[in-house]
Structure 1
Amino acid sequence: MHNDQPDLLAPALAHSTYLQRLFYRYPELQALTSEQFGQPFSREEMLAFLAQAPVYSDEELKRRLRQLRQRVMARLIARELARLSDLPEAVTTISDLAEVAITAALDWLNQPDERHGEPIGEDSSTRQQLIVVGMGKLGGRELNVSSDIDLIFVYPEDGETTGPRKISNHEFFALQGKRLINLIGDNTDDGFVFRVDMRLRPFGDSGPLVCSFAALENYLLTQGREWERYAWIKGRALSGDAAGLDELVQPFVFRKYLDYGAYQSMRDLHSQIRREVQRRDKLDNIKLGPGGIREIEFIGQVFQLIRGGRSKALRQRATRVILRELGQQGTLPEEAVADLDAAYVFLRDLEHRIMYLDDAQTQMLPSGEADRARIASSMNYPDWDSFLVALNYHRDKVARQFEQVFSQSPVEGSNSSQDLSSLQDEQAAERLESKGYINAAEVIRRLQSYTSSNRYQQMPERCRKRLDIILPALIDTAADYPSPDVTLLRVLDLIESVSRRESYLALLAEHPQALRRLTDLYSASSWVSQYLTRHPILLDELLDARLLYQEPDWAVLGARLREDIREYDGDTEGKMDCLRHFQHAQIFRLVAQDIAGMLTLEKVSDHLSDLADLILSVTLEEVWRELPGRHRETPAFAVIGYGKLGGKELGYGSDLDCVFLFDDADPNAQEIYARFAKRIVSWLTSLTSAGMLYDIDLRLRPNGASGLLVSSLEAFSEYQHKSAWVWEHQAISRARFAAGDRQIGQWFEHFRCEILSLPRDAEALRQEVQQMRERMLETHPAHPDDVKHLRGGIVDIEFIVQFLILAHAARCPALTANSGNIALLGVASEAGLIPAELAEPSRYAYRELRRLQHAARLNDSKPGAAELEALAGHLEKVRELWTQLFAQ
């Protein structure tokens, strides 16, 4: 012991009258605290203290537990006020004390009961155990130093005990619960361990002390209120069947969909607390007052309620952990997270120092001069005024952030120039026409038809109220677009399809910027409107423009996807849905950036192809991990992309042309990889509750639909050399490695160049390519508005490039690069294989035809006659090039 060690107790004794009383009554505790001052009070030390002497009665255990609390509190106060510990140490120490005390009490109560025997479940015939659920700060392991503990008592199954005096399991556990409360909470000559609050149990003070899983589940389904969802976020089993409890409670707390109705629920709860604070003149309450601890907790918990069903990372219980996760996910700006975290630490430190004064459960700033001086000094400020400056700084930061998250929606407070009742009067059509609506009568008819329908009338009142806010705002918003009628009716289709899902209505009512972005997209594209109506969960993407319009970094996104999918280990459907949610979100972000003019068509296709590669890669990893009988750590298997995937020209909704290759000497490799490939296809194509990923086309594999699903490298090589048709070599010109074993990918790239560079008879090749094009025209006639199949169109240009590759790659290796048709036309021109005066118009035509095709698909339409007419001269040059190459 250092000679100056006792002096380190001086700050604590000067601050805490509770510690003074404790040391006065137990002088040996002061000496003990001085000796052990240098180390935190660990859980192991607590357990060792309790194990020093056996206990033979409830009274002995009470005394022992209270002696333990005295030791823990003395050392903790001394260390904190000497600035040797921090907030994490304080909350961990007190949370450990609560858990150790509860465990010790349960161990004592679970000793053999000769009168009643053991409680046995009526279904499982196994011994039942009381589950003590820690709620609030105990559940989050962030207990404060003079806190009460919120508990709920649950047991898995009803039944009865085995002893001579049989009682029901409910009676047995009620007796245990009462004794546990007394062991922990009774205020004896030695004080208490923790005050115990049971009011969060089903039906509160009027409800039974304990309940079975079945009773709890029924209560949550039929009686559970929104504030109870908030309370159960932190609920944590401290004993017994924790997994069973989580399985029961989590669907109640965390909705499968994004639950934006939580905003209003949390807002209502906060308003109720605020009214209580003001009524009791508690504005100086650092927990419940403005900018206080509760507001920080609410900010974290509202996003847990909204997004926790989708993100397991948001189901963690500690406030600071959740704030960091929200920052990492981009839900809260990093600066806001830093401000909230700093304020939380400041306020929780302050809360402890207030409680240290007299071991009182209070969060009120002191009014006496002496206590104020102690608080200021303990927080490292020279006086009360300078301390208040710091306190108000943090509270202002919290209050501002709280208002940003929970402020009443501008949509709700707006004065729309239209309300639904006004659609009934004679001037309604005139008003809509003045806004720019073309067929106002049809718009009014559709809105009236919807609002008078049984579906609308039978909605919960809160849903109708939100629709009564959203629809007038939509009428005004759609009027700002070139085709307001089309825009409004498209959005109305979505609203009708989600109108029974209060959360989606809440999102649009709470976030006017989301309604505006939605209208932007629906005005620009029918494809987007259909996609979002199929996947309304994507409405969440509209909230954050920074994420919506951020060009993807696939390495970062891939790491995040792999991290997210790990949360579903053991849950195949969960993994499949995780992939689908990810893919749908990325496609939606890309189309939003596309419509905003932020990406070229080539960039869109590159990103869609990179997305497909990533989905394929992660699917391979997960399917292999779950494959029964797998014989190696990683598969010697690769996906080769053909067609648009191979040429990196994917569009929205494109299917994937794939060939599966393996390189494995195992005698059962063919069978293993065939099973593997079937599961991959199933993962990609199955329609789950979250939708599907891709249609997969495997007809380009050796021998087509009649061929084996997977090919060894030897078999693939032999087929390409000896059996492949010319059209199959045309197809391989656009093929590339997409996912899987990179060594196989390298082999394929080398082999592809080898096949493309084989010597060929030019005349025979010319005839084969021409005949293949003619067969295509038989099944897809060349309509003037079909940019893909018209003469001089996309397919003609692709065939020209493929002919040039197969005819000349042996002498011009640059043609083997899978760099796209536009680049390869340039290579052929530079090599003197085609005249530049035909190559350049053909390159321009290909780019423009793809642009027209892409734009037409976004609006489920065909290219306009005027646009095609503008390209007529370029298409004629393509036809001239075709004639020059194939009419020889």
Structure 2
Amino acid sequence: MKDFDKDIACISSISRYFARLIKNEEYLEYMRTSYSKLFGKIDVEETLSFKVDDEKNFLKSIRVAKNKILMRLIFCDLKQMIQYEDVVDIYSYFADLVIQKTFAFYAESFNCKKENFYIIAMGKLGGQELNVASDIDLIFAHDNDTLDNQQGSELAKKIIYALENNDENGFVFHVDIRLRPHGSEGRLVPSLNFLEDYYLNYGREWERYAWIKHRVIVGDEDKISNLITPFVYRKYLDYKTISEIRNLKKLIKKDLNEKNKLNDIKLGVGGIREIEFIVQAIQLIRGGKNPHLRLKNTLASLQQIFYEKALDKEEFTNLKAAYIFLRNTEHRIQYLDNKQTHLIPANGDLDLLSQSYNLNSKEFITQLDKFRESINFQFVNFFKTENEHEGAIDHFHDSENKELVDNLTKSKRWNKLSIANQERIITLFKLLDEEIYVNKYKKDQKVFLKVYDLIETISSRSNYIAFFIEYADCFKSIIRFASNSSWIIEYIKKHPILIDDLLINHGDYEVDYSLLHDRTLDILLKLKSLDEQLDYLRDLKHKLIFQLAVLEIKGEIKLETVSDELSDIADFFINITIGFLKHKFSNDKLFESFAIVAYGKYGAKEMSYASDLDIVFLYKYAGHDKSEFINIAKKLSTWFSSYTNAGVLYDLDLALRPNGNNGLLVSSFDAFEKYQMEQAWLWEHQALSKARCCYGNEALTKRFNEIRNKVLTKPRRIQELKDEIFKMRQKMYSQHNPKEDSFDLKNDKGGLIDIEFLVQFFVLMYSTKHQNLLSNTGNLALINALEGYQLIKSEESTLLKKAYLLYRQEIHKLALNNQTNSLVDRGLMENLPHEVHQCFMSYLS
């Protein structure tokens, strides 16, 4: 046991607390028997497995257990046998069990059952990150009808005494009960009704931060969560939190200055609390909309915040490393004498602290300062003050802009706003005017008007105004967007929740749809009402589309990528809705026989931001009643088309099903095949060339592709096919009234429809011979294939691809500026439409 004696001596030289206790034979023997064993939660359970009937022995036993657990934690931590996460997890678990055991010991004498009494852990214990010399923050409560206040108070006092009374064996925990309603003057054990009323009507901002970490140790977790969640997490994005936490930090700093405790690694500059403030601010801002952020543990929350892209990888990595280092340092300081202190010691104790890291004191301080500087840099950047934006601009460059703002300030609506909000809005208008002047935006771009309308729309929602004040760069991004796109400003006006996404570090647009599916389904199943579920999906769709649009406006992705992603987003919402309905129907076999086919722009993956979804519902007969598939189709249609506060998910067009709007909502595969082969019009076969299965298992997808291929390779007479397509196009020409100076990119001769009809002619005529023409890979790929098969000339292929790309780009630009038609100046197209129409006529006239 030479190594044991050596290790005990080593740990005793670093921890005076450990050195005192190891002189006790019982503790020495405990350390000897556990010396080479792994240390985990099961050891905590064994240490607390004693059974005693009298109070004296009970109090002694829980103190002895605490000393043993703490000694072993110190030993294993300093010997690097366990990590920081293990230390706080094990010690928090011990606290949970000892509280539960103490409650159980006294509860019987008060005739109190655990379902009628509540012990709620707050702070570090609530987050399961208890430090080794921490007190524990507890809130007691009782069920409304089963326990009177006097009984509850007496029981709570017994528990508190048992935990914190200091005798020859020490104490277990100091208990802080000041976080309860009204603090020290409030009821020790309030009822649940009282808690609900208090937080609904009187709860203060700092209490929201405190309740983030709440965790029920005794009692019904769901009851407390349902009661407290609406108080902690707002339904909107709560950016006023930033200024409120900033003010709280100022008070802490002032208090530290007065007490000369700036070397406090918890509360001082670059300390643990600054990391906690960053984490809690993001949780409070976004947690109302994103339940995944409602975590208790700081490291787990930090990880989730990184996943949600509220922090970039470097910020997350730095904060995590700094947090673990500071928490380890906090423990090592407290290992010295088992005292709750967060001050960096001096002289010999600093040497002992440094020794625990195998560093000298100078090296340790250098490393500590580096971490604290990193933390404070991020903290200052996150909580930068409003004064950085105010007063920088004191006039308007454009008198018309000033007049517009002056008129707003005289309106009745303006007078309803708070003074603080009015001042912030004026600041934003001045910044807007300045940006237009500096960047030399033209009058006809109407940048000021667009952004003015946005600010006026959200003016009563002070959180969004606060956001722009806090993040001026994001506001400048809005101004840049307005110079390029009216559509995106209108989109933000309709869905201001998207303002939050301006903070996200976008980079490449990469979405793991499989992972997103699992997370979204988890949230949908947790949400309790249909309205919440529908709104959540709509908000998620707006978010995905907005991120895509931002990248396109910045010029970071091409049109083809945008169309592909928009189609992938639509596929995701089809599949997540079906995934949710599967849970509700509890009949997986039913869905194994159900398929959805995408048509049109959706089927061909050529969607724009405002595209609706052309879909057809199919099923395979496998013993299920048709009405069951009709029910699925109706449910999905309701989920997509129902109008909520967040709008619709997608407009659905179901008219391409067999017999159109007069046909059945769902068709069997056999009926669909029969209709396509025997009754369908030619235009329906053209539409089928752009169709694909967007939901369905492998067997059903294969069945649809077989039907599609069979229909598209159906023998046709070339002249009859030419005549029918040409007559159809001629009819469209006659119903369209072209404008002399404008060119309709879609409908005019030589427009997009000419190109699509020409490609569809070749697919229907030649796919029997050239199987690659059956691939639904988009018009550009098909034009390349036609050239490869020498069905069209090389110069014709170049012409059609050039025109097709240009037309789609121009249509997309028009859509981004809210133009509902497809008209452009005819002169801009030069001779291109004429050449395209000549090509079309050469094959089809």
Bin the TM-score by the shorter chain.
over 0.9
Equivalents in 2 of 1:466, 1:217: separation in Å?
34
1:606 aligns with 2:564: yes
* Residue 530 of structure 1: how far off its partner (Å): 0.9
- Provide closer, same or farther for how the CA distance between residues 292 and 707 of structure 1 changes in structure 2, counting only shifts above 3 A: same
The answer (yes or no) to whether the contact 2:745–2:822 under 8 Å persists in 1 is no
- Provide closer, same or farther for how the CA distance between residues 765 and 292 of structure 1 changes in structure 2, counting only shifts above 3 A: same
* Residue 747 of structure 1: how far off its partner (Å): 2.9
Identify the range of structure 1 (837-846 vs 646-655) with the bigger mean alpha-carbon deviation.
Answer: 837-846
* Residue 481 of structure 1: how far off its partner (Å): 4.8
The answer (yes or no) to whether the contact 1:129–1:240 under 8 Å persists in 2 is yes
Residue 493 of structure 2: aligned partner? 533
Residue 384 of structure 1: aligned partner? 361
Map of 1:697-846 to 2, 5 A cutoff?
Answer: 697-777=653-733, 780-783=736-739, 784-828=742-786, 831=789, 833=791, 840-846=798-804
The answer (yes or no) to whether the contact 2:517–2:572 under 8 Å persists in 1 is no
- Provide closer, same or farther for how the CA distance between residues 454 and 188 of structure 1 changes in structure 2, counting only shifts above 3 A: farther
Residue 151 of structure 2: aligned partner? 172
From 264, 269, 277, the counterpart of 1:290: 269
The answer (yes or no) to whether the contact 1:410–1:510 under 8 Å persists in 2 is no
CA deviations over 1:482-501 (Å, ceiling 9, x no partner): 23572122112222222222
The answer (yes or no) to whether the contact 1:411–1:511 under 8 Å persists in 2 is no
Residue 372 of structure 1: aligned partner? 350
1:643 aligns with 2:600: yes
SS at match of 2:831: helix
Instruction: Report the residue type matching 1:478 in the other structure.
Output: I
Instruction: Report the residue type matching 2:90 in the other structure.
Output: T
1:37 aligns with 2:15: no
CA deviations over 1:184-219 (Å, ceiling 9, x no partner): 122234321111111111111122112222222222
- Provide closer, same or farther for how the CA distance between residues 379 and 835 of structure 1 changes in structure 2, counting only shifts above 3 A: closer
Map of 1:462-611 to 2, 5 A cutoff?
Answer: 462-479=420-437, 480-483=439-442, 486-544=446-504, 546-547=505-506, 550-554=507-511, 556-571=512-527, 573-611=531-569
* Residue 699 of structure 1: how far off its partner (Å): 0.6
SS at match of 2:3: coil
SS at match of 1:28: helix
From 70, 83, 86, the counterpart of 2:67: 70
CA RMSD of aligned residues (A): 2.7
- Provide closer, same or farther for how the CA distance between residues 627 and 469 of structure 1 changes in structure 2, counting only shifts above 3 A: same
* Residue 445 of structure 1: how far off its partner (Å): 3.7
Equivalents in 1 of 2:332, 2:738: separation in Å?
83
1:304 aligns with 2:283: yes
The answer (yes or no) to whether the contact 1:411–1:510 under 8 Å persists in 2 is no
Question: What's the TM-score, normalizing by structure 2?
Answer: 0.93
- Provide closer, same or farther for how the CA distance between residues 373 and 748 of structure 1 changes in structure 2, counting only shifts above 3 A: same
CA deviations over 1:515-567 (Å, ceiling 9, x no partner): 111111122111111111111111122123x41xx33234x244234324323
Residue 129 of structure 2: aligned partner? 142
- Provide closer, same or farther for how the CA distance between residues 733 and 61 of structure 1 changes in structure 2, counting only shifts above 3 A: same
Equivalents in 2 of 1:576, 1:217: separation in Å?
28
Equivalent pairs, count: 839
CA deviations over 1:768-794 (Å, ceiling 9, x no partner): 334433554566544554322223322
* Residue 825 of structure 1: how far off its partner (Å): 4.3
Residue 652 of structure 1: aligned partner? 609
Residue 124 of structure 1: aligned partner? none
- Provide closer, same or farther for how the CA distance between residues 181 and 763 of structure 1 changes in structure 2, counting only shifts above 3 A: same
- Provide closer, same or farther for how the CA distance between residues 722 and 447 of structure 1 changes in structure 2, counting only shifts above 3 A: same
- Provide closer, same or farther for how the CA distance between residues 292 and 873 of structure 1 changes in structure 2, counting only shifts above 3 A: same
SS at match of 1:284: coil
* Residue 307 of structure 1: how far off its partner (Å): 1.9
The answer (yes or no) to whether the contact 2:743–2:825 under 8 Å persists in 1 is no
Equivalents in 2 of 1:570, 1:666: separation in Å?
33
- Provide closer, same or farther for how the CA distance between residues 609 and 390 of structure 1 changes in structure 2, counting only shifts above 3 A: same
Map of 1:250-289 to 2, 5 A cutoff?
Answer: 250-289=229-268
Instruction: Report the residue type matching 2:414 in the other structure.
Output: Y
Identify the range of structure 1 (804-813 vs 823-832) with the bigger mean alpha-carbon deviation.
Answer: 823-832
- Provide closer, same or farther for how the CA distance between residues 118 and 295 of structure 1 changes in structure 2, counting only shifts above 3 A: closer
Equivalents in 2 of 1:460, 1:61: separation in Å?
59
The answer (yes or no) to whether the contact 1:842–1:874 under 8 Å persists in 2 is no
From 618, 623, 638, the counterpart of 2:576: 618
Instruction: Report the residue type matching 2:622 in the other structure.
Output: A
Map of 1:859-874 to 2, 5 A cutoff?
Answer: 859-861=817-819, 867-874=825-832
CA deviations over 1:47-103 (Å, ceiling 9, x no partner): 44444332233x443222222222222322333334433322321232122112210
- Provide closer, same or farther for how the CA distance between residues 99 and 755 of structure 1 changes in structure 2, counting only shifts above 3 A: same
From 295, 298, 306, the counterpart of 1:316: 295
- Provide closer, same or farther for how the CA distance between residues 767 and 201 of structure 1 changes in structure 2, counting only shifts above 3 A: same
SS at match of 2:218: coil
Residue 379 of structure 2: aligned partner? 402
- Can you give the 5+ residue segments of structure 2 that lack an aligned partner in the other structure? none
- Provide closer, same or farther for how the CA distance between residues 252 and 465 of structure 1 changes in structure 2, counting only shifts above 3 A: farther
Equivalents in 1 of 2:460, 2:239: separation in Å?
13
Instruction: Report the residue type matching 1:292 in the other structure.
Output: G
Equivalents in 2 of 1:854, 1:751: separation in Å?
33
Map of 1:219-258 to 2, 5 A cutoff?
Answer: 219-258=198-237
SS at match of 2:764: helix
The answer (yes or no) to whether the contact 1:287–1:363 under 8 Å persists in 2 is yes
* Residue 757 of structure 1: how far off its partner (Å): 1.7
The answer (yes or no) to whether the contact 1:409–1:512 under 8 Å persists in 2 is no
* Residue 650 of structure 1: how far off its partner (Å): 0.8
- Provide closer, same or farther for how the CA distance between residues 181 and 633 of structure 1 changes in structure 2, counting only shifts above 3 A: farther
Residue 164 of structure 1: aligned partner? none
CA deviations over 1:280-327 (Å, ceiling 9, x no partner): 100121111111111122222221112222333321111122222233
Map of 1:22-171 to 2, 5 A cutoff?
Answer: 22-24=21-23, 26-39=24-37, 42-57=40-55, 59-113=56-110, 129-157=116-144, 159=145, 161=147, 169-171=148-150
* Residue 654 of structure 1: how far off its partner (Å): 0.5
- Provide closer, same or farther for how the CA distance between residues 392 and 821 of structure 1 changes in structure 2, counting only shifts above 3 A: closer
- Provide closer, same or farther for how the CA distance between residues 809 and 33 of structure 1 changes in structure 2, counting only shifts above 3 A: closer
Residue 856 of structure 1: aligned partner? 814
From 631, 637, 649, the counterpart of 1:693: 649
The answer (yes or no) to whether the contact 2:597–2:694 under 8 Å persists in 1 is yes
Equivalents in 2 of 1:195, 1:866: separation in Å?
76
The answer (yes or no) to whether the contact 2:744–2:823 under 8 Å persists in 1 is no
Equivalents in 2 of 1:537, 1:663: separation in Å?
41
SS at match of 2:595: strand
* Residue 235 of structure 1: how far off its partner (Å): 0.9
